[in-house]
Amino acid sequence: MNTIQPFRFRPLLKPVLWGGHRIAALKHLPDTGQPIGESWEISPMPGHESVVATGSDAGLTLNELVARHGELLLGRDVAARYGGRFPLLVKLIDACQPLSIQVHPGDALAAERHHSPGKTEMWYVVDALPDATIMAGLKQALTPVQFEALARAGELEQVIAHYRPIVGDVFFLPAGTVHSIGAGNLLVEIQQASDVTYRLYDYGRVDADGRPRQLHLDEARQAVHYAPDAGIASHCSPAGPGMVKLVECEHFAASLLAVDGRQRLEWQPMRSMLVVVGTQGRLDVITDGHCHTTLAMGESLLIAACTRTIEVAGKGQAVVAHIPHNQ
């Protein structure tokens, strides 16, 4: 079986009006003064593709990397299921102002309208200021007419569940969940490889040209889950070294890896690639017994499915995600 060293990508920094300055500081990048809201860590999105930063494949886009290595990178199950398409988009998000209240369509609606997958996502809270909030899921059942009336009146916040996040909180948002990330949150986001968002309310903000940002109430009508949402929020506080499951759905599975010393990951070669995002400390990732790759807080790695063994040493934590094969 081939040996492929883990891939590190150049971060794609996204300046947005609600962004902050923590991502640049976390990555030890110069602060340009622009508010950076997102770093697309691993992205196959057209026009926004990740580019390999180091090694023999440096300069290749993620999609070129998949074309070169195929199922050795993706895994047999993933390559067969997604037709050679990389199925995840991995981000860091820094909200200095609240994001719009929004919703994402599911697979069927997104395919019909946008020729795209839907967007189910999860957030892991890396840091949260004391007054940070997250809104996710309806508190009560609404009809589409009631929902739209509240949206047009700017009163959706009244019917969405509010949370006070702390480090280690996990939010799972299936497509159709109405949500907003409040100011003060630094998150890891694992999601389907889709960028389809329907904006429902945006606090009256305007774009760089002074125009109100577009809302998508008509498009959202069929996407919203109008029933009360349960099971959105949970918390992960590892009692010691090991892996703790965060989320598992048909689109992805994610766990929190806590390391203090050295440990070997349970791993089934050729099932699925592995995405690893550092959330605390600094780790040494050892693949196939001899490839050493460092992973600091705020850094991300893509580990090929053909990797035979994975060990992690040091003291820190990381979110680890893959495509489940038992769905």
Residue type present at position 44 = P
Q: Does 196 reside within a domain?
A: yes
Question: Residue 91 and residue 277: Cα distance in Å, rounded?
Answer: 9
Number of structural domains in the chain: 2
Whether residue 93 contacts residue 186, with contact meaning beta carbons closer than 8 Å, is answered with yes
What's the mean pLDDT in 157-165?
Answer: 97
Q: How confident is the model at residue 146 (pLDDT cuts 50, 70, 90)?
A: very high
pLDDT number for residue 196: 97
Tens digit of each residue's pLDDT (9 = 90 or more) over 251-280: 999 999 999 999 999 888 999 999 999 999
Can you tell me the distance from the alpha carbon of 306 to that of 3, in angstroms, rounded to the nearest whole number? 7
Residue-wise pLDDT tens digits, 283-295: 999 999 999 999 9
As a whole number, mean pLDDT of residues 59-74 equals: 97
Asked if 307 and 259 sit in the same domain, the reply is: yes
Helix count and strand count (H, E) for the chain = 7, 20
Tokens of 276: 């690893």
* pLDDT higher than threshold 60 for residue 327: no
Cα gap 246→263, rounded to integer Å? 19
Residues 42, 171 share a domain: yes
Q: Can you tell me whether residue 91 is helix, strand or coil?
A: strand
Average pLDDT score over the chain? 95
Give me the sign of the Cα torsion angle 162, 167, 170, 175: positive
153 to 146, 150, 322: CA distances (angstroms): 11, 5, 41
In this prediction, residues 309-323 reach a mean pLDDT of: 97
Residues whose CB is less than 8 angstroms from the CB of residue 281 and which lie 6 or more positions away in sequence, other chains included: 259, 296, 297, 314, 315, 316, 317
| Residue 1 pLDDT level (bands cut at 50, 70, 90) | low
Q: Of 4, 6, 3, which is closest to residue 285 (Cα–Cα)?
A: 6
Residue pair 96/18 in contact (Cβ under 8 Å)? The answer is yes
> Based on the number of CB atoms within 10 Å of its own CB, is 59 exposed (0-12), middle (13-18) or buried (19 or more)?
exposed
Q: pTM of the predicted model, to two decimals?
A: 0.96
Q: How far apart (Å, rounded) are the C-alpha atoms in residues 282 and 260?
A: 10
Residues 203 and 299 in one domain: no
* pLDDT > 70: percent of the chain: 99
Residue 321, pLDDT > 60, answer yes
Q: Are residues 27 and 67 in the same domain?
A: yes
The answer, yes or no, to whether residue 29 has pLDDT greater than 80, is yes
Whether residue 104 is found in the same domain as residue 28: yes
Mean pLDDT, range 178-206, rounded to an integer: 96
pLDDT band at 210 (very low <50, low <70, confident <90, very high): confident
Q: Which residues form the domain of 313?
A: 242-322
Q: In terms of C-beta distances under 8 Å and separation of at least 24 residues, what long-range contacts does 234-240 make, across chains too?
A: 234/169, 234/170, 234/172, 235/166, 235/168, 235/169, 235/170, 236/124, 236/168, 236/169, 236/170, 237/168, 238/317
pLDDT tens-digit readout, 192-204:
999 999 999 999 8
**Is 327 a domain residue?**
no
Please compute, for residue 165, the number of CA atoms within 13 A of its CA located in the half-sphere on the CB side. Answer: 31
Is residue 326 scored above 70 in pLDDT? no
Q: Which residues 6+ apart lie within 8 Å of 170 measured at CB?
A: 122, 123, 124, 125, 233, 234, 235, 236, 246, 247
- Please give the average per-residue pLDDT across 8-15, as a whole number: 96
Residues 262 and 222 in one domain: no
Same domain, residue pair 42 and 115: yes
Greater pLDDT, 84 or 159: 159
Q: What is the rounded radius of gyration, in angstroms, for the C-alpha atoms of the chain?
A: 20
Report if residue 282 sits inside a domain.
yes
Mean pLDDT of 199-223: 90
Q: Are 65 and 7 in contact (CB under 8 A)?
A: yes
Co-location of 300 and 169 in the same domain: no
1 occurs within a structural domain: no
Where in the sequence numbering do the catalytic residues fall?
199
Here the tokens at position 210 are 């002074």
Ramachandran assignment for 289, one of left (phi > 0), alpha (psi -120 to 50 degrees), beta (any other): left
CATH of the domain at 23: 2.60.120.10
DSSP symbols for 97-128: SPPPEEE---HHHHHHHHSS----EEEEEEEE
Domain C-terminal end among 235, 267, 302:
235
152 with 262, same domain? no
Q: Is 65 contained in some domain? A: yes
Say if residue 33's pLDDT is above 90. no
Give the mean pLDDT of 14-25.
94
Of 316, 295, 254, which is closest to residue 7 (Cα–Cα)? 295
